[in-house]
Amino acid sequence: MCGITGLAGAGAAGDRAVVRDLVRRASAAIAHRGPDGQGEWVPAEDPVALGHRRLAVIDLSDAAAQPMLDPSGRAVVTFNGEIYNFRELRAALEARGHVFRTRSDTEVLLTGCREWGAAGVAGRAVGMFAFAYVDLDAGLLWLVRDRFGEKPLYWYCAEGTLAFASELKALVDMPAFPRAVDPAAVADVVARGCVSQQRTIYQGVHQVPPGSALGFHLSPSMAAEAGTRVTYWDAAAEAREAMGRPFPGSLQDAVAAVHAELDRSVRTASVSDVPVGAFLSGGVDSSLVTASMQAQAGASVKSFTIGFEDARLDETRHAYEVARALGTEHTTWTLGTADVLSVVPTLAGMYDEPFGDSSQVATHLVARLAREHVTVALSGDGGDELFAGYNRHTLAPRLSRRLSRIPRPARTLAARALLRTHPDWWDAFPRPGAHRSPTGALGARMQKVASVLDFRDPDDLYGRLTAAASHAALLATPATSTPPLAGDLPLTAAIMLADVQGYLRDDILVKVDRAAMATSLETRVPLLDPAVYRLAWSLPEHYKVQGSRGKLVLRALLSEYLDPALFERPKMGFAMPVAEWLRGPLRTWAEDLLSPPALAESGWLDAAAVRSLWTAHLTRRADHAHALWNVLMLQAWLGRWGWAG
């Protein structure tokens, strides 16, 4: 995994030393993505330049450095990510007469671009990647991104200059960078804690869509309108096609099929010339990926988890029991308040768009722990979206079916009554036989239930389930809405697909990429393999969901490795007790960002509404941690990057 930068057109057409320095400085801004080397390619005459920061993972020799040119010197690639099936692609290319100079997947990608085209090789590649490919003979620049958007790629075109980079911080000093903040992106952050991949925080700056290749004709004055988009893979189309060819076997057959595909995916995702480990929270997905790794490894897999000093919130003992049962070499870090306080002020720089998923802190710290021992870590992300693991996948259909029979005014009255109930009352309410939940979890959950009771339709229900309550009241600008659900699919499937196209891309994958790459750790996600994806969508819903339980097929598979008592428990992941920390060790930091002068300076929020929310949270009248964290991350980002409303 690496960092890439580049520009074309007016900004790349001047003095070559100046252009080289511009690319070098842009690459330096993302040096954390590639501490093992840097490189620039600035041709003598053509109006284009590429930069690269290297994290050496496959073929550690200098011969695999980037940007990489083909033997003719007329084709070049700069590449971030890994092609897991590069050996198979290399064999196919060798059969066509191509000769290779290195053992790297980069050279396979470059040669594949020459043989099949940029979109063609992307469609054949299995992995996570974002790359730029220049074909000087054809006069073309291609920007390409992997199927799910695991690897980021931003670009803009203004005043004749087209520039691109792995992170926005590498673009802000490029020529003609558009600095206006997009109000719709601000609304995204306040509502859902992240910016939709349909846009970026800046007006006029874009993301290459997942599963797409954007082609531009090289010119001394670039124009975005002259670009071409090729969609080589589409999540919705693939899901519908798989559902149209339903899996024919029993649940046991499905477990065996998932087992085989996951083992294959884990095996290919484990290929590396540097040490590889795994994140292990003890949940179903991370345990399953780690179990598959360990079953196929010749030695103990290195696994990592973090916990908290507060015993009520600490999950390290559980993760340790899973690790012991699997036989991994397990490392734990129990976090203190100082560890968290050291990270929170850095988040606005780490995530160079506002980002409000509070598990970003723990994710960064577990990545920091892993990086002390390995260069690559596998994670269990994607299991919830593909196999119905979120509460909303089971809750939304039941709510829609049952509550739609009750008149909406009656539901509104019930919601108001629930909202008047102090959240601490729910947490103190005795629940014999219930699994232990984090402090404040039930109260927050009941507030969430209250916020959705008077939904209008399935689209409104999904929007409320995925947004912070009362977010619209916090904005000085109009709120945005979630895209409509797929009306041709059953509600559970429609929500799962919306999560793949929204929450997974916009939140989960962004969180893991930035949190891990800030420590120069490469992360890989075996569950987001195209064959696993197709298989998951071909399975009947009752192989995934039964009543309030999701991920049935994954649970059945994991029970082949572990006693179910080790994983049949509430979902935790690397969660952070943000509600209590905002009232305690993070209170001063938050108060500074939410002070009336700070809110007035930013200009994007309704100061009175925010202060009211903050006061209610501090006095425990309600748990507004979700909404407040979104607001705090927006305020911190505005302060870090200096853009006001």
**Per-residue model confidence (pLDDT) at position 419:** 74
8 Å CB contact between 162 and 6: no
Residues 329, 223 within the same domain = no
In the chain, % of residues over pLDDT 70: 93
Rounded average pLDDT over 579-596: 95
Residues 108, 253 within the same domain = no
Residues 116, 208 within the same domain = yes
Residues 127, 262 within the same domain = no
pTM > 0.85: yes
**Per-residue model confidence (pLDDT) at position 431:** 55
Residue 247: inside a domain: yes
Residues 136, 257 within the same domain = no
Looking up residue 517, the CATH number of its domain turns out to be 3.40.50.620
- By residue count, the chain amounts to 645
- H helix or E strand, kind and range, residue 268: helix 251-269
Q: Is 584 flagged in the annotation as binding?
A: no
Q: How far apart are CA 424 and CA 49, in angstroms?
A: 58
Tens of pLDDT, residue by residue over 227-281, are: 899 999 999 999 999 999 999 999 999 999 999 999 999 999 999 999 999 999 9
Residues 155, 47 within the same domain = yes
The C-alpha angle 515, 527, 149, rounded to 5 degrees, equals: 55
3-state secondary structure 183-223: HHHHHHHHHHCCCCCCCCCECCEEECCCCEEEEEECCCCCC
Residue 482: inside a domain: no
**Per-residue model confidence (pLDDT) at position 361:** 95
DSSP state at residue 484: P
Residue 573: inside a domain: no
8 Å CB contact between 178 and 224: no
Name the domain count of the chain. 2
Q: Is 105 flagged in the annotation as binding?
A: yes
Residues 293, 380 within the same domain = yes
Residue 166: inside a domain: yes
Rounded average pLDDT over 474-485: 79
Rounded average pLDDT over 91-95: 98
Q: Domain limits at 538?
A: 237-388+507-566
Collapsing DSSP to helix, strand or coil, 154 comes out as strand
**Listed residue (171, 258, 204) closest to 544, CA to CA:** 258
Residues 100, 27 within the same domain = yes
Residues 229, 242 within the same domain = no
Looking up residue 166, the CATH number of its domain turns out to be 3.60.20.10
**Listed residue (421, 483, 418, 411) closest to 454, CA to CA:** 411
Residue 216 pLDDT greater than 90, yes or no: yes
Task: Give the domain-ending residue among 529, 546, 566.
Answer: 566
Sheet containing strand 37-41, edge to edge, reads 37-41, 48-54, 3-9, 161-165, 154-158, 205-207
Query: What amino acid positions are annotated as catalytic residues?
Result: 2
Task: Give the domain-ending residue among 544, 566, 588.
Answer: 566
Residues 251, 363 within the same domain = yes
Q: Which of 300-304, 399-403, 427-431 has the highest mean pLDDT?
A: 300-304
Residue 432 pLDDT greater than 60, yes or no: no
**Per-residue model confidence (pLDDT) at position 645:** 47
Residue 644 pLDDT greater than 70, yes or no: no
Residues 261, 363 within the same domain = yes
Residues 271, 291 within the same domain = yes
**Per-residue model confidence (pLDDT) at position 426:** 66
